[in-house]
Amino acid sequence: MPGRWSWSDAAIFIAVFVAIRFAVIWLATKAFVMMIPEGDVCPICDSETLAVERVGWWRVLGERYRRSWCISCGWEGVLRRSDVWLSAERHRRLINQIEASMAKSRIHSGQLPLNSKKSS
């Protein structure tokens, strides 16, 4: 019968409406993130910036973003770290984990280290 609706029609309408809402929010978030400058230079004066300690809700941003302050013009804001920095940071962490595991295995091996002060 024309002009009548059912609950399945309402559920489809709500699902489509919610999906469109999520798509708009996702696209707006992606656009905003892409507007954040990448690198360690000030977007105003192109001079070097210093990293500011992330306290409070700033930690929610994660490792990919950092708070920065420009020495020259006093600009303060958020910058994206480049992919080069992220891969170098992961590499450094991997090296630290390997060194820590090697140190533990040396301690537990029962042998004296080569630079031991003990005389034989």
**pLDDT on residue 109:** 54
pLDDT tens digits for 9-48? 889 999 999 999 999 999 999 998 888 888 888 888 888 8
- Whole-model pTM: value is 0.48
Among candidate residues 97, 61, 89, 83, the one with its CA nearest the CA of residue 52: 61
In three-state secondary structure terms, 69 is strand
Whole-number Å distance between alpha carbons of 17 and 9: 12
Residue with tokens 């409406």: 17
DSSP-assigned letter for residue 72: T
* pLDDT, average across residues 43-70: 81
DSSP notation for 73-111: T--EEEEEPPHHHHHHHHHHHHHHHHHHHHHHHHHHTSP
